[in-house]
Amino acid sequence: MVNKYLLFKENPDLNITIKIGELVEMVEYAIKLSRQELEQQVVDAKKETYLTRVEASKMLSVDKSTLWRWNKQKYLTHVEVGGKRLYRMSDVKQILEKDLRVNNKLKK
């Protein structure tokens, strides 16, 4: 089943003939995968931590005006909760990791 699903996903313009039972099986498999992904996103969202502007700017070693500009550019977007601008820790970590990779490449 997995192989057929991947074949169809990789070749969307491919014309084939399949039995209705196989079609139902594929649809159920696709639903199962989607459900697992959504459940994982819910679990991850519950684990997410948030930083204030001050914490995010210190962690990234940038000024608060840079955070404002990054939000406008959609580079690092904030979430407003109760009138406070908070930044996802996962987004901040992503920027730090990206910066680390760039610096490592420059050193080589």
DSSP per residue, 31-79:
HHHHHHHHHHHHHHHHH--EE-HHHHHHHHT--HHHHHHHHHTTSS-EE
Q: φ and ψ at 83, to 5 degrees?
A: 80, 0
Between 100 and 103, the higher pLDDT residue: 100
pLDDT digits (tens, 9 = 90+) for 9-52: 788 787 878 899 988 988 898 899 899 988 887 777 677 889 99
CA 87 to chain centre: 14
Whole-prediction pTM: 0.53
Does residue 71 contact residue 77 with C-beta atoms inside 8 Å? Answer: yes
